[in-house]
Chains A and B, each alone.
Chain A
Amino acid sequence: MDNNQKYDAAFMTVFEINADQLNDELKYQSITTWDSVGHMALMAELEGIFDIMLEMDDVVDFGSYATGKTTLEKYGVRF
């Protein structure tokens, strides 16, 4: 799996959604499973997959499927 696939897999696993739901409309709290609890599960999943440690500000700013990649790029993850 390349990093894009790993990124997508994290969202699908944590939020129990399908690939067709991975789009620009997918944002923090746009679906019931992406609430504060789901958010922490996603952060833990991404930290594990990419072996990074996100800062608190980046956890708070991680607002959508689309912009999340920009956040991870700050930690050296290439897409």
Chain B
Amino acid sequence: MSSPILEDLISLTDHHRLACQPYADYCDTLFSGPEAPGSLAELPFLPVRAFKEFDLRSVSEADVFKVMTSSGTSGARSRIYIDRETAQLQTRVLTTIFGDTFGKARSPMLVIDCESTVKDRMRFSARTAAVNGFSIMSRERCFALDDDMTLNVPRVAEFIEKYKEQKIFIFGFTFLVWQAFCGALAAQNQTLSLENAFLLHGGGWKKLEAEKVSNQDFKDTISRWTGCRNVRNYYGMVEQTGTIFMECPEGRLHASAWSDVLTRDVRTHAALPHGEIGLIEVFSTIQKSYPGHALLTEDVGRTLAAADCACGHPGTIVEVHGRLPAAEVRGCSDAYS
């Protein structure tokens, strides 16, 4: 499998081997393969949980600007060390991917979350990172939920009325959009007038698995209660903030110009061809301050060639089917608190 970002990823591997001793030791022990990898599959990869067990950073402590964490139910948290350069790359890449999909105008933003989620800037959770990261595309924010996670219909209605002439950008985690937004509207038999809005959601479908909600059900329900028909999902994780996989008009998640993806056999970790189901490995070219450029996730799914999609986007397609059942519950951008 050739990838347009292979050279960048090889350079990053070399960079992190020199700058992060635990990473170098790990590579030397487990990846004694060819010096110059000829494909994505030959690059050394880290399991995402490595960031829970080890402090992996490639910059001095003084250059760490922010530590992002993803909470885990087991108590262990991933710690992702961000320096200014990596933070700026995250913002630039995110705004570019967003702009390619929704345009470059900054819109009023309806956040399907509560304000307390984003208040403590130093304890950066995945939800905080996502809400604040996407806020750069916004002009004014309205938090749809109160701190007890209930929908504040009057506040939302007032915001919609104020910006009825503009396109509102609705953002939220998938399970919150489903439960705390659509669910609350349905329970109150309340519809909203968001025909002109667009909605972006991510963070995973895990919490909705029991309800067997398909992407189409999700879109139909949003349309029914809010009128919003421009709904996009994204796949991303706090360990690779910025380089999200954005859903195209055909409903498929594509890698961006700064990312790629493959799958590996769950047991042997052998790379799999397109179409075969395995563990998802994600690649990203913007991780300078920590060795997070090639990560084996605990998500199960398959990849498809970009050419299989009519939308014309050149990025590899990933389909995410769910979390590896036997895995530690890696938790949890999709958890309250």
User: Do the beta carbons of B92 and A56 come within 8 Å of each other?
Assistant: no
Query: Within 8 Å of chain A (Cβ to Cβ): is B164?
Result: no
User: Do the beta carbons of B121 and A35 come within 8 Å of each other?
Assistant: yes
Main secondary structure of the interface of B (DSSP, over half): helix
List residues of chain A with CB within 8 A of the CB of B138. 40
Query: Within 8 Å of chain A (Cβ to Cβ): is B66?
Result: yes
User: Do the beta carbons of A40 and B135 come within 8 Å of each other?
Assistant: yes
Query: Within 8 Å of chain B (Cβ to Cβ): is A60?
Result: yes
Shortest beta-carbon distance from A34 to chain B in Å: 10
Shortest beta-carbon distance from A54 to chain B in Å: 7
Query: Within 8 Å of chain A (Cβ to Cβ): is B276?
Result: no
Q: Mark B46-74, 1 if CB is under 8 A from A, else 0.
A: 00000000000000000001100000000
User: Do the beta carbons of A55 and B132 come within 8 Å of each other?
Assistant: no
List residues of chain B with CB within 8 A of the CB of A57. 95, 104
**Minimum CB distance partner of A57 in chain B:** B104
Q: Mark B106-119, 1 if CB is under 8 A from A, else 0.
A: 10000000000010
User: Do the beta carbons of A40 and B136 come within 8 Å of each other?
Assistant: yes
A37-B121, A44-B140 known; A60-B92 Cβ under 8 A: yes
**Minimum CB distance partner of B87 in chain A:** A29
- The listed residue (B88, B106, B132) touching A28 by CB distance below 8 A is B88
Sample (6) of A-B pairs whose CB atoms are under 8 Å apart: A28-B84, A35-B132, A54-B106, A55-B104, A60-B92, A60-B136
List residues of chain A with CB within 8 A of the CB of B139. 44, 53
Shortest beta-carbon distance from B56 to chain A in Å: 21
Shortest beta-carbon distance from A24 to chain B in Å: 16
A63 vs B84: C-alpha distance when bound (angstroms): 11
Q: Mark A40-70, 1 if CB is under 8 A from B, else 0.
A: 1000100000000111110110010000000
Q: Mark B85-127, 1 if CB is under 8 A from A, else 0.
A: 0011001100100010000111000000000001001100000
User: Do the beta carbons of B106 and A60 come within 8 Å of each other?
Assistant: no
List residues of chain A with CB within 8 A of the CB of B133. 36
A27 vs B87: C-alpha distance when bound (angstroms): 13
A29-B84, A37-B118, A44-B140 known; A56-B132 Cβ under 8 A: no
A60 vs B135: C-alpha distance when bound (angstroms): 11
Which of A27, A57, A59 gathers the greatest number of chain B CB atoms within 10 Å?
A59
List residues of chain B with CB within 8 A of the CB of A39. 136
Interchain residue pairs A-B with the least CB separation, the first 10: A56-B104, A29-B84, A36-B132, A60-B95, A56-B106, A29-B65, A40-B135, A37-B132, A37-B121, A29-B87
Apart from A56-B95, A59-B106, what are 12 other A-B pairs with CB-CB below 8 Å? A29-B84, A35-B66, A36-B132, A36-B136, A37-B132, A40-B136, A40-B138, A44-B139, A54-B106, A55-B104, A56-B106, A57-B104
